[in-house]
Amino acid sequence: MEENTATQTTPMSTANGKVNVINDDSFIAEVLEIDTPVLVDFMATWCGPCKIMGPIFEEIAPEYEGKVKFAKLDVDESPGVASALQIESIPTFMLFNGKTIYAAGVGAMRPDALRKWIDEGLEFIASNPEPELETEAETEAQA
């Protein structure tokens, strides 16, 4: 049996060119608390369109090494995050940068359409950076 080396099951905090498996317990650390944009595929093993997107996701991930971290979260095994984000259809794709969702989409896509969607999301992130939080001292100085 040939081992699939394109899926990374150990948590990684970088855009490593692999599809990283995340869950409710690792979502905050692996998605919201890193400095790299993260594309999350919310999926389930029984979902037909998810089965189509899995290989496409793995094919595209190496093309974005160093730019985007690819992650997948099984909504049946980790319902907490899916519920909190109101994921109602799968596959759902969300492009995060920090604690902000910059793009979201539902359904299977062809590889070129997914690439275009990711590139447009990255352009949007570049032109709309997250606001920097003011420190307590800066807030008091403005008062």
How confident is the model over 23-47, as pLDDT tens digits? 999 999 999 999 999 999 999 999 9
Closest-CA residue to 49 (of 93, 94, 99, 103):
93
Domain architecture of the chain: domains with CATH: 7-142 (3.40.30.10)
pLDDT band at residue 15 under the 50/70/90 scheme: confident
* Backbone torsions φ then ψ of 132, nearest 5 degrees: -80, 135
Is it the case that residue 2 has pLDDT exceeding 50? Answer: no
Cα separation, 80 vs 102, in Å, equals 21
Kindly report whether the global pTM for this prediction surpasses the value 0.85. Answer: no
For residue range 89-124, list pLDDT tens digits in order: 999 999 999 999 999 999 999 999 999 999 999 999
Closest-CA residue to 42 (of 76, 14, 15):
76
Q: Looking at the annotation, which residues are catalytic?
A: 47, 50
